[in-house]
Amino acid sequence: MDTTKKTIILFSGDFDKVMAALIIANGAVAMGDDVTIFATFWGLNILRKPEKVQTDGKSTLQKMFGGMMPKGTRKLALSKLNMAGMGTSMMRKANKAAGGMSLEELFDSAIENGVKFVACTLSMDILGFKEDEMIDGIEYAGVAAYLGEADEANVNLFI
Amino acid sequence: MDTTKKTIILFSGDFDKVMAALIIANGAVAMGDDVTIFATFWGLNILRKPEKVQTDGKSTLQKMFGGMMPKGTRKLALSKLNMAGMGTSMMRKANKAAGGMSLEELFDSAIENGVKFVACTLSMDILGFKEDEMIDGIEYAGVAAYLGEADEANVNLFI
Amino acid sequence: MDTTKKTIILFSGDFDKVMAALIIANGAVAMGDDVTIFATFWGLNILRKPEKVQTDGKSTLQKMFGGMMPKGTRKLALSKLNMAGMGTSMMRKANKAAGGMSLEELFDSAIENGVKFVACTLSMDILGFKEDEMIDGIEYAGVAAYLGEADEANVNLFI
């Protein structure tokens, strides 16, 4: 076992939970750890390009999911007190006023500092997300890859 | 520590989270791991027989909980975008179209491949669930048993 | 690695999830483990004094968050079936009828038996929570402290 490795399954796409995941990931890489974030289901949303990408081969259902789910971190909503977006906007302002890093800054910092982001290919197949729609610099893998990394890590969280 | 053991506390009864738990569990047993899923609170619902079972000794409150909570995997709803069941139905269709295993197939596969399902007796006492109402082949235990298994595992998730 | 240490990130402030966290924590200390609960975001609510505390230096946003979020365990709501508080009240009654410890008893027991509660200072800064508003006997720390403890523990959950 390697005490310098951490994995996070990012299942949630809630603003607050993504923020928690990124704070932990940034903290761990700052302490010299290797960190892998496996984004699955709603968590995949943070890895989507914010702009609409022309794609082929999506079913009507997949187009609907794609249209309903947020693209990138800027559209995420709080898990509680969202109040049609007002609560999330308040949380962003309170965070900024407190001198905290924005969700976007936390995400950019994680990427710059080497947090490895892996998009779950099984979820992508279901939701119809194509690699062209995802940001650059991420990896694609399934549950076996996750389990392989989790076996090497000493902290494995599901968020 | 045994790198071939995993535990999952399945607290959630959401369709998507149960699916994630079962995908991880199936993946792990396929790789030769021992996997135990401790179902508690809403997670207990997946272990309930789908049909109504005549039981004695339930309080009115417990009858109400029993009536409001889904029996088995077929009645579970998405944690997000459920839209009165339409979203869950869409997710099931998209999954099927993508060639994925249904939630029921994942559950059956987990049982066939030796994933151990343990129902939390403390939650059962509160909710009034009786062993007659639960599917065959599962075990019953409390938090001490969970902690004993978690001490032997190298990946312990709370879903 | 020390098999007698456990950490829980308590991100949630939902009645049912807090209950699960406290049951695990109480079970682990009863078995001789060291347990640390890092309360962050909504989880901080359980560490707030139930009464209103006069504080200086809060922004309007922070006053709003403080007013909207529950103070202490008595005001927490179920994550599902809350039904404007009726579901939570039913769950409390069903738990009591089953002879279970109340959420407050679980919390007091955790404190008496040495579960260490740590309030996340980063979340406190954002939400404007001051130490005067938090109950006595807890510690204050950030993500680095969490990671340090998680490295020493063999079970690390995110709830």
Chain-chain contact of B62 with C157 (C-beta, under 8 angstroms):
no
Instruction: Give a yes or no: residue B93 inside a domain.
Output: no
Closest-approach residue (CA) in chain A for B158: A158
Chain-chain contact of A127 with B94 (C-beta, under 8 angstroms):
yes
Q: Tokens 């680095």 identify what position? A: C144
In this structure, what CATH number is given to the domain that contains residue A33? 3.40.1260.10
User: How are beta strands C34-39 and C116-120 bridged, if at all?
Assistant: parallel
Chain-centroid distance, C-alpha B50: 13
Chains that touch B (3 or more CB pairs under 8 A): A, C
- Say how far apart CA C38 and CA B156 lie, in whole Å: 17
Segment holding B156, helix H or strand E: strand B155-158
Question: What is the reported pLDDT for C1?
Answer: 47
Question: What is the reported pLDDT for A2?
Answer: 54
Q: Which residues pair with A36 in a beta bridge?
A: A7, A116
Tell me the mean pLDDT per 10 residues along chain B, length 159: 84 98 98 97 97 92 93 95 91 95 98 98 96 97 97 97
pTM: 0.96
Is the Cβ–Cβ distance between A98 and C126 less than 8 Å?
yes
Instruction: Give a yes or no: residue B129 inside a domain.
Output: yes
**Segment C26-74, tens digit of pLDDT:** 999 999 999 999 999 999 999 999 999 999 889 999 999 999 999 999 9
Instruction: Give a yes or no: residue A95 inside a domain.
Output: no
Q: How many domains does chain C have?
A: 1
Q: Terminal CA-to-CA distance of chain B, rounded, Å? A: 22
What one-character DSSP code corresponds to residue A158? E
Q: With a cut of 70, say whether residue C3 has pLDDT above it.
A: no
Chain-chain contact of A61 with B94 (C-beta, under 8 angstroms):
yes
Instruction: Give a yes or no: residue B50 inside a domain.
Output: yes
b (16+ CB within 10 A) / e for A89-103: ebbbebbeebebbeb
Kindly list the residues of chain A whose beta carbon comes within 8 Å of any beta carbon in chain C. 1, 3, 6, 16-17, 20, 23-24, 26-28, 30-31, 33, 80-81, 90-91, 93-95, 97-100, 154-159
Chains that touch C (3 or more CB pairs under 8 A): A, B
**pLDDT per residue of chain A (159 residues) written in tens, 0 to 9:** 456 999 999 999 999 999 999 999 999 999 999 999 999 999 999 999 999 999 988 999 999 999 999 999 999 999 998 988 999 999 999 999 999 999 999 999 999 999 999 999 999 999 999 999 999 999 999 999 999 999 999 999 999
Instruction: Give a yes or no: residue B85 inside a domain.
Output: no
Question: What is the reported pLDDT for B2?
Answer: 54
Question: What is the reported pLDDT for B1?
Answer: 47
Instruction: Give a yes or no: residue B94 inside a domain.
Output: no
Give the minimum alpha-carbon distance from A115 to chain C in angstroms, rounded to a whole number: 16
Q: What is the DSSP string of C82-109?
A: -GGGHHHHHHHHHHHHTTPPPHHHHHHH
Q: How many residue contacts between A and B have a Cβ separation below 8 Å?
A: 72
At C112 the three-state DSSP class reads: helix
Range of the domain at B132: 5-76+106-158
Q: Which residues of chain C make contact with B69, given a CB cutoff of 8 A?
A: 81
At A145 the three-state DSSP class reads: helix
Q: What is the DSSP string of A67-93?
A: HHS--SGGG---SSS-GGGHHHHHHHH
- Say how far apart CA A23 and CA A117 lie, in whole Å: 14
Instruction: Give a yes or no: residue A91 inside a domain.
Output: no
ipTM beyond 0.85?
yes
State the angle between helix axes of B15-30 and B103-112 in degrees (0 to 180), rounded to the nearest 10. 40
Alpha helices in chain A (DSSP H): 15-30, 60-68, 86-97, 103-112, 121-127, 143-152
Kindly list the residues of chain B whose beta carbon comes within 8 Å of any beta carbon in chain A. 1, 3, 6, 16-17, 20, 23-24, 26-28, 30-31, 33, 80-81, 90-91, 93-95, 97-100, 154-159
Instruction: Give a yes or no: residue A80 inside a domain.
Output: no
Chain-chain contact of B155 with A156 (C-beta, under 8 angstroms):
yes
Task: Please return the burial class of B111, using the count of CB atoms within 10 Å of its CB with bins 0-12, 13-18 and 19+.
Answer: middle
Mean pLDDT of C134-156: 97
Percent of chain C at pLDDT exceeding 70: 98
Long-range CB pairs of C109-113 (<8 Å, 24+ gap) are C109/C22, C109/C26, C110/C22, C110/C25, C110/C26, C110/C29, C110/C35, C110/C37, C111/C137, C113/C26, C113/C29, C113/C30
Q: Which residues of chain B make contact with C91, given a CB cutoff of 8 A?
A: 65, 126
Residues 6+ apart with CB under 8 A from A14: A42, A76, A77, A78, A79
State the sign of the Cα–Cα–Cα–Cα dihedral C71, A22, C25, B71.
positive
Chain-chain contact of C3 with B144 (C-beta, under 8 angstroms):
no
- Say how far apart CA B44 and CA B69 lie, in whole Å: 10
Chain-centroid distance, C-alpha C65: 17
Give the residue from A143, A154, A155, A156 with the most B CB atoms within 10 Å of its CB, the best one to mutate: A143
